Structure 1
Amino acid sequence: MVTRRGFIDGVSVAGAATVFGITPPASATTRAAGAAVTDAELTARDAIRATNVGMRASYAALKSELISRLSPVIVVQNDATGGKFTLIHGGSPQESATPVPELFELAKSVSHVPQGIFSIIAAYLSDKVPNLPNAHRIDPHDLDMVAFEGPGTAGWISPLKEYAATLTTARRRLGEADLPRELEISCGKILDESLTFIRGSVRSGTFDMASFEEFSGRTYPGIRTNMKYAAAAQISGVEGLMRKWRSTIGEEAWQDLYTVVLSIWTTSELNQASIIIRRCMNPAKVATHLIDLPTIEVPRDPIFLALDNLARIVQDRVSAELVFPTDPVVADAFKGKEDLLSVEILHQLGETAGAPAASFSSSSASSACPVRPGRA
């Protein structure tokens, strides 16, 4: 995992400039081209690098020790069933639970059907944005990337038929699932509309963005109903587990609870588990003790990943205030999500945190960005 300390050791300014095709400033070079580096200089530079090696070793040792002492912690692994929750207290896992009722998974499963159909046909769409009400919200380049096959081939027909068989079985057995009547009706509507779209597309041998939007629009009321049931199931399950664990570890320990929620990037903001859990935590510490941690993929050891990152966060918060006691802005950058050099980089670029980036256009590109267009 790349962190703010993940600099590439040993790459010189001049070397990096060569990689990116940038002419380095005179100050970035220390001697005329071709001049040899003396043994004394090499030794001196290695000595300088050694200070960072020593820091990293000490930092890793502190983190390793801290991992085993973090308590209490709840680690949340988001998944299709509403999440797996693990309570760590006294330095070791105490209990893992999947508290969300099955209704959550069932309601979301059917709601995902239009996305399943889209995933099969997307590559075969036209790469031109049609005249749709929401056309201005579709990036033409994004569409061009997704629609890489184009409408000239029929590779979508076979997988779409296979998916239709799956949907047909679900529709036929829907009444036996013992769902609340309103949820059963909404699921039936979504499945019926999906099968109608598939059959029509296969029969005609064609589809387009307009026909898909018309179909998906008809499923939306049912999806909203399913979302209502899924949300209620998750709230009841997670809040029930939080009450139980709060009683288990006691009120005093609960006030200092850390929570680490692991999720993929697309659900890392306003994450469903985080929204519920924050209501159960000490309000004074939610901002610092509730950590939403985006992951690239499902980690092999989610507990270690969560605790390893939490240990970094906790020790950085303390060290930031002690290492940078005279500059609270830099200290905040060090202990937060910002790169340590972010404040200085913004300063040198004449920008401020949170301000929109300078617009990029053909007339301003050369002055706005030192990397010239067309350079790899």
Structure 2
Amino acid sequence: MPTRRTVLGAAAAVGATAALTNLTTTGTAHADTDADRQKAARDSIRAVDTGMRTNYDTLRANLINHLGPVVVVNNDMQGGTYYLVDDGKVVEQIQPVDEIFELAKSVAHTPLGIYSICAPYLDPRDIPPSQAAYIDPHDLATVAFTGPKDTSWTTPLQAFSTTLDTARRQLEEARLPADLHDSCAFILDHAHEYIADTLRTREFDMRSFEDFSGAVYPSIRTNMYWSSKVQIQGVSNLLTRWKKQVGDDAWSNLYVVVLSLWTTYELNQNSIIIKNFLNQGKAGTHLIDLMTAQTPGDPVHVALDNLARIVQDNIAAEMVFATDQTTADALKGRQDLLSTEILRLLGDGGTGAHAAGALTKGQVNQIVCPFHNRSAATASVV
């Protein structure tokens, strides 16, 4: 039989449950509201950057139509395709370098062609002592991903040999300069012999390949000479003509953007030649080597899009960071805007209190080396 105590106890339990349920529901709703408010607040902050980028992109897109004079160079296999641009439009497009450039380089690439076929089948343990100090064993093991037991390289190597032999048979008809002809003949003849021996023994190793490549290297240097010679001549003649066409005043403000892959990005041959034709006081800022991940489909647009960013940042830097020339220079150049501060925090951008800013010595040490300072983290900061 229920008693007053049990009834009241049951009622209290029900009331308590209801109260707890309501408390939980209210707490969850409140938490959700706080989370929503935080998200909305943060989204509104992000909107500032979104708005900036929208207007920044609009400025860049419009600025492209006012860029000029500009020379855009797409660093290609023909020695470079050159574009003269004014007010964002291509005035002239030309490949100024004689085809001797391409032909000389083509034959000079013979050892690299053989290497590209056979490299996966190398024995990583087969490093000649003379090269051991210059070859990273891990890189070699990565390239030699198949290993020496597989001889699948013989078929593509034979096919490449056929290509080389065809070029050798028709070499006379190409009518190359005498010393270039002779160097090409030497490379192709020795490549034929090397491939024949390699196919006969069905063995490819670093030592024998280096003997071959070393033997043809003087001839490769001759081919490099001819490629360089005709490139200098072609580019020089073109820039001399364009300078006269544009006029000295406009040419003094000329921007040049050279697009190339990482492997030819530093000391690019076109940039070396072009620099001699620029206003030397502005060559450091107006000759721009632009590294690309791959050959762009529209080199002019890629060049102008990046140049517009550079030009507008040159002015923005002085206006936005008028009180700090170091930060202004970072925005104007290739330096990331946060790089200085990151270097300071890591202890690489200065010393003592100046480098640390508001951080204590112990805090800076932990930023620089968090793993090495685990034991110090529990110590008192000095």
1:220 aligns with 2:214: no
Pick aligned residue for 1:367 from 353, 369, 372 = 372
Amino acid across the alignment from 2:119: A
Alpha-carbon distance, 1:368 to partner? 9.2
Pick aligned residue for 1:247 from 244, 248, 253 = 244
1:275 aligns with 2:272: yes
What corresponds to 1:103 in structure 2?
100
Alpha-carbon distance, 1:133 to partner? 1.0
Alpha-carbon distance, 1:42 to partner? 1.9
1:43 aligns with 2:40: yes
Change in 2 beyond 3 A, CA 1:368/1:351 = farther
Q: Check the 8 A contact 1:69/1:90 in 2, yes or no.
A: yes
Higher normalized contact order (CA 8 Å, seq sep 6+, divided by chain length): 1
Q: Calculate the TM-score normalised by the size of structure 1.
A: 0.84
Amino acid across the alignment from 2:293: I
Q: Deviations over 1:35-69 (max 9, x none)?
A: 65433222211111111011001100110111110
What corresponds to 1:133 in structure 2?
130
Alpha-carbon distance, 1:210 to partner? 0.7
Q: Deviations over 1:339-360 (max 9, x none)?
A: 111111111000139xxxxxxx
Pick aligned residue for 1:53 from 34, 50, 53 = 50
What corresponds to 2:234 in structure 1?
237
Change in 2 beyond 3 A, CA 1:54/1:156 = same
What corresponds to 2:346 in structure 1?
349
What corresponds to 1:185 in structure 2?
182
Q: Deviations over 1:111-146 (max 9, x none)?
A: 001000000000000122523312111011111110
What corresponds to 1:358 in structure 2?
none
Alpha-carbon distance, 1:196 to partner? 1.1
Amino acid across the alignment from 1:176: E
Distance, in Å, in 2 between the alignment partners of 1:115 and 1:195 is 14
What corresponds to 2:358 in structure 1?
none
What corresponds to 1:71 in structure 2?
68
Q: Deviations over 1:178-234 (max 9, x none)?
A: 111111111111111111111111000002111111110011000001111110000
Greater shift in the superposed pair: 188-197 or 159-168: 188-197
Q: Deviations over 1:54-109 (max 9, x none)?
A: 10011001101111100000000111111100000233110000000011111000
- After the TM superposition, which residues 142-161 of structure 1 pair with which residues of structure 2 at under 5 Å, given as runs? 142-161=139-158
Amino acid across the alignment from 1:216: S
What corresponds to 2:166 in structure 1?
169
SS at match of 2:348: coil
What corresponds to 1:286 in structure 2?
283
1:313 aligns with 2:310: yes
Distance, in Å, in 2 between the alignment partners of 1:45 and 1:94 is 48
Amino acid across the alignment from 1:338: Q
Amino acid across the alignment from 2:141: D
SS at match of 1:70: coil
Distance, in Å, in 2 between the alignment partners of 1:144 and 1:276 is 38
SS at match of 2:101: helix
**Aligned residue-pair number:** 325
Q: Calculate the TM-score normalised by the size of structure 2.
A: 0.83
Distance, in Å, in 2 between the alignment partners of 1:185 and 1:365 is 62
Distance, in Å, in 1 between the alignment partners of 2:106 and 2:311 is 38
1:338 aligns with 2:331: no
Distance, in Å, in 2 between the alignment partners of 1:39 and 1:367 is 40
* Unaligned 5+ runs, structure 2: 1-30, 351-368, 375-382
SS at match of 1:38: helix
Amino acid across the alignment from 2:372: S
* Unaligned 5+ runs, structure 1: 1-34, 354-363, 370-376
Query: Considering only aligned residues, what root-mean-square deviation do their CA atoms show, in Å?
Result: 1.6
Pick aligned residue for 1:323 from 316, 320, 323 = 320
Distance, in Å, in 2 between the alignment partners of 1:95 and 1:74 is 10
Q: Check the 8 A contact 2:88/2:304 in 1, yes or no.
A: no
Pick aligned residue for 2:113 from 112, 116, 124 = 116
Alignment identity in percent?
Answer: 51
SS at match of 1:260: strand
Q: Deviations over 1:273-330 (max 9, x none)?
A: 0000010111011111111011111111111000000001111111111111222222
Q: Deviations over 1:240-290 (max 9, x none)?
A: 000111111111110000000010011010000000001011101111111
SS at match of 2:115: helix
Q: Check the 8 A contact 1:132/1:210 in 2, yes or no.
A: no
1:94 aligns with 2:91: yes
- Point out 4+ residue stretches in structure 1 off by more than 6 angstroms: none
Relative to total residues, which structure has the larger helix share, 1 or 2?
Answer: 2
Distance, in Å, in 2 between the alignment partners of 1:286 and 1:103 is 29
Distance, in Å, in 2 between the alignment partners of 1:365 and 1:164 is 56
Q: Deviations over 1:7-54 (max 9, x none)?
A: xxxxxxxxxxxxxxxxxxxxxxxxxxxx65433222211111111011
Change in 2 beyond 3 A, CA 1:176/1:65 = same
SS at match of 2:130: coil
Amino acid across the alignment from 2:310: I
